[in-house]
Amino acid sequence: MKETAATDVSKDASPRRSHPGLRALPTALLLALIVILTVPAGLLIAPAFVGPPPAAVPETPAWQQAPTALSARQGLSPLQDSAPVPLGSAVTAQLDSALKPDGGGTFTGLVQDALTGQVLFDRGGPENRIPASNMKLLTAVAALRAMGPGHRFSTRVLAGPSPDQVVLAGGGDVLLGAGGSAPDQVMGHAGLASLAAATVAALKDSQPAGGLKVLVDDSLFSGPSLNPAWEQGDVAAGEVAPLFPIALNSARFDPAVTTGPRPQDSAITAGEAFAAQLKAAGFAAGLTVAPGVERYSPGGTGGAAAEALPVVLAEVRSATVSEQVDLMLQSSDNYLAEVLGRMASAASGGPASNEGATVAVRARLEELGIPTAGMSLADVSGLALANQVSARQFAEVVRAITTGPDTRLRAALDGFPVAGLTGTLDERYSGEATVRGAGLVRAKTGTLNSVIALSGYVVDADGRLLVFSFIGNGLTPGAAGNREALDRAATALAACGCR
């Protein structure tokens, strides 16, 4: 376009039409002048032919661009030994004003630095107290040490003593589901429908003509199925139920309904559910199932039943002990706690009974070097009022879980309810006095009629890991201020820059 414009102008600048004053200029100078005048004109004219220049593309901000690398990990930084330890006097000043009962009763408590064990607050820490469901922390430690975090319980179907019988043998899984196995769940991880389908497949070449009879072997547990230390009112209300080594939904009729009455014979209930699934699975294969479910007890030999029936037709396996411990702590499930205590005893060579469970819990604590002198254990769920454990002992247990030498116990950390978010703390820490602890306090709760407890851990404002246990006994039943007192105390620890 510049060349065309230059040509047009040069034609117009012929000698006959040029300005008189330009005639005397040398030819070379005249041409240079023409070029000087022509180029700007061409620049002005060109846009009319080619359009406006393209708009500049703004540079995309970095935050809008696709990432080229993983972002830095968010959350708490790793704990450092160099984080300052709070002053005991400052911690005491904070907690003394928070731990006040609403009405009658008293609070005891103890706070320790998790890494060093240094005591930062002690109000009657060594005194025995009724701990309520804080007992489940002791049971968690015993289960993880005796069986290991990855252990699973098996529920098996064995060939019966006659060709027309099968035996459903309980192996400690009380979280069975009635439907198919759900591998991504804890409750219902092993399902009776899957077990029934596998049983039908195993029997396809040996189907009895007169129908198959289901027997239930629940002989793994010994001793009374109901602890005499439990209040009958608690049993009637569904806080616990007679214990068996096999159950659906932790001995609940519906896994979504965690209150109210429970099955009083969870083994037979599970056997009936299995028989129904077996009937449904066997229909297409022509397998019939006889009505009714009976217990298998060959001559009263108890635990010898499984050895007397070595042929395994089918098997399903539970969620891991670690996952079950976490569920127990999050939901404070008394039935599951008692079963895990019995299974810890069995794994240690003891009887799968209430007495065996309490002995196993005490023994595992002593192995960790936690003093058990003066401790009295009537059960392992905390439902019994005869339990006696000190805040000092609970703080030491939490310390063993968080920073102790047995790293298997770290598996219990996910089970601690998180203030305002999960488990039995999900609806707490929303008030003005406690909201600063939401998301920061991680602790096991405990509540009975005149008892309230909270034991757990926090990382304080300076990055120091602290463990604590607060226990109230003899409290005024139903007084709302007692729960808030515990939550205020834990919140104060989380916000503490107590130097």
Give the residue carrying structure tokens 């509540």. Answer: 447
Q: 250, 332, 345, 450: which is the annotated catalytic residue?
A: 332
Query: Which burial class, exposed, middle or buried, applies to 463 when counting CB atoms under 10 A from its CB (0-12, 13-18, 19+)?
Result: middle
Q: Is 136 a catalytic residue?
A: yes
Render 341-406 in DSSP notation, one character per residue: HHHHHHHTTS-SSHHHHHHHHHHHHHHTT---TT-B-S-SSS--TT-BEEHHHHHHHHHHHHHSS-
Angle at 243 between CA 238 and CA 248, to 5 degrees: 75
First-residue to last-residue Cα distance in the chain: 80
Strand order in the sheet with 289-295: 289-295, 212-217, 165-169, 154-159, 312-317
Helix (H) or strand (E) holding 212: strand 212-217
**Amino acid, single-letter form, for residue 276:** A
Q: Which of 88, 106, 125, 91 minimizes the C-alpha distance to 371?
A: 125
Q: Which of 136, 213, 279, 444 is catalytic?
A: 136
Long-range contacts of the stretch 188-191 (C-beta < 8 A, 24+) = 188/249, 188/255, 189/317, 189/318, 189/319, 189/323, 190/155, 190/316, 190/317, 190/318, 190/319, 191/316
Sign for the CA dihedral angle at 393, 394, 397, 399 comes to negative
DSSP secondary structure letter of residue 444: E
3-state secondary structure of 154: strand
Among 133, 250, 353, 450, the one annotated catalytic: 133
Rounded to whole angstroms, the Cα distance separating 397 from 393 reads: 6
By the 8 A CB rule, do 444 and 480 touch? no
Helix (H, G, I), strand (E, B) or coil at 240: coil
What the block records as the tokens of 335 is: 């039935």
Catalytic residues: 133, 136, 332
